[in-house]
Amino acid sequence: MIRPTDTARSPRTSTLPRTSARPPADTGYRSTRSELPRMGQLAVDIANQGQIIDLRRDPDAHARLPHGRADGRYRCLACGHRLILQRPSSTNSRFTPRFRHHTHASGADRCPAPAQHQADIQADLTTMLALHDQLLRVLPQTALSLHIDPDLTGHRWDIPPALIVRHGEQIVVLERPRRLLTPQTVAHRITATRAQHGTKAAHWWVFDRDDPLHCDPAGTINVRPYDQTITHTKVRPTPAQRQLATAGATVCWLAGDTLLIPYGGHQRTYNTHPGEDWSGDMASWKRDWTISHPRPADGATWWGLIPQPLLALGKRPDFRPATAHATMSALQRAEQGRERHRRRRAREHAQHSTQASAEQLRIPVAATATRESTEAPARPASLPHAMATVPSAPSTPARRPQQRPSVRHRGLRWAALLPRRWRP
């Protein structure tokens, strides 16, 4: 993450030039205070769709925008009051451009909003500006700006200002919620975003992987999309995350510089096709999971997460996470292959079961009688094991060892042919 103070020192469209410009003594030192945005540098521009003006990240803004009261277009994020843009009187002036409250034109500038509310707003802005700075590094050619509904200035908001990414005609709207989301909040933000940016704009909701409010880990799953087994983290989606996926928004989690893109995992049980036998040891193979993608579908019991570098988003103006989607397609192919394999085993199982039954019917009565007289009556408890060995006594030339049905299963079928008193 780049410190806000670093990004303020050079134009927005450059990539990582501040690192070398940073004084050595400053390197590696990050106090909490230095990361907090200064409210005097920020204002909502209600004449420009609620864009948040950041005088530190946009050093040309004070020269480009009208100064003074400017018909009340600048509003305080915390209290909603009108602000005045003050700028240097000359190019030689060392005065730092800033916003001041309209009602406090002289003396110390003080925001009348409660301290807790101001702290909340600052925390939201810190989160969003961190994402802004992070994206700036990977998408240097895009225009990034924070926007808030102008009506929300001065009020407590449920969702921080949205980060708008413009790349040519393409618009991506990124949300980064911190508080618990209600269905109404989510629906309202989705509707408002579509109304403002159109249905073609991509709407991303980026949750923090370490935020227990928005990330409920559910173990891991080993998958094999390609030639090797990899482990994916699973999460239990929150109702809001399910709502977002159903509405067509993209939900993801951010972990450092890695995005985690979800697919849906649904429990399934194979239905039985003609000629298949899923009994015995095959029973556990009947249960499997199926994927829904590129977004998790309604009803997914868990979501698997595919990691993708944040950097990869810069490859496509529409942000489509193509690499993650390709992995999801590979997972679906693997799932289809898995089903074909299991159904083949179930058919083989059925064939061998039938053969075993037929062979049993062909066993001479004398052979059965011999066993009845020598083994079975003495130790009924050992019958399952003994029965498993019985079919090997008659000739079974066609059977290959690796295709043998399970011991337990054959035992049960043999049991049905035995006198009732020996049955387990």
Q: Which is nearer to Zn ion, 111 or 252 (CB)?
A: 111
8 Å CB contact between 237 and 245: yes
Quickly count: other Cβ atoms within 10 Å of residue 11's Cβ.
Answer: 11
Binding-site size, Zn ion (CB under 5 A): 4
Angle at 128 between CA 124 and CA 129, to 5 degrees: 115
Angstrom distance (rounded) from CA 213 to CA 215: 6
User: Least separation, in Å, of the C-beta of 74 and Zn ion?
Assistant: 11
User: Least separation, in Å, of the C-beta of 183 and Zn ion?
Assistant: 31
Q: Where are the alpha helices (DSSP H) in 139-274?
A: 183-197, 239-246
Q: Which is nearer to Zn ion, 79 or 202 (CB)?
A: 79
User: Least separation, in Å, of the C-beta of 81 and Zn ion?
Assistant: 5
User: Least separation, in Å, of the C-beta of 100 and Zn ion?
Assistant: 10
8 Å CB contact between 362 and 393: no
Quick one: which H or E segment has residue 126? Answer: helix 115-138
User: Least separation, in Å, of the C-beta of 106 and Zn ion?
Assistant: 16
Angstrom distance (rounded) from CA 291 to CA 297: 9
125 near Zn ion, rule: CB under 5 A? no
Q: Which is nearer to Zn ion, 112 or 380 (CB)?
A: 112
Q: Which is nearer to Zn ion, 146 or 249 (CB)?
A: 146
Q: Which is nearer to Zn ion, 154 or 317 (CB)?
A: 154
Q: Which is nearer to Zn ion, 111 or 244 (CB)?
A: 111
310 near Zn ion, rule: CB under 5 A? no
Q: Which is nearer to Zn ion, 40 or 97 (CB)?
A: 40
User: Least separation, in Å, of the C-beta of 7 and Zn ion?
Assistant: 24
**Of residues 26-85, which lie at the interface with Zn ion (CB under 5 A)?**
76, 78-79
Of 170, 14, 157, residue with least CA distance to 77: 157
Of 340, 337, 390, 356, residue with least CA distance to 280: 356
User: Least separation, in Å, of the C-beta of 42 and Zn ion?
Assistant: 10
Query: Pattern of binders to Zn ion over 93-112, x per CB under 5 A?
Result: ------------------x-
Compute CA distances 331 → 41, 141, 293, 306, whole Å: 48, 33, 10, 11
8 Å CB contact between 132 and 169: no
331 near Zn ion, rule: CB under 5 A? no
Strand 302-309 to 230-235 pairing: antiparallel
Q: Which two tokens stand for residue 168?
A: 């040519």
Contacting positions for Zn ion (CB under 5 A): 76, 78-79, 111
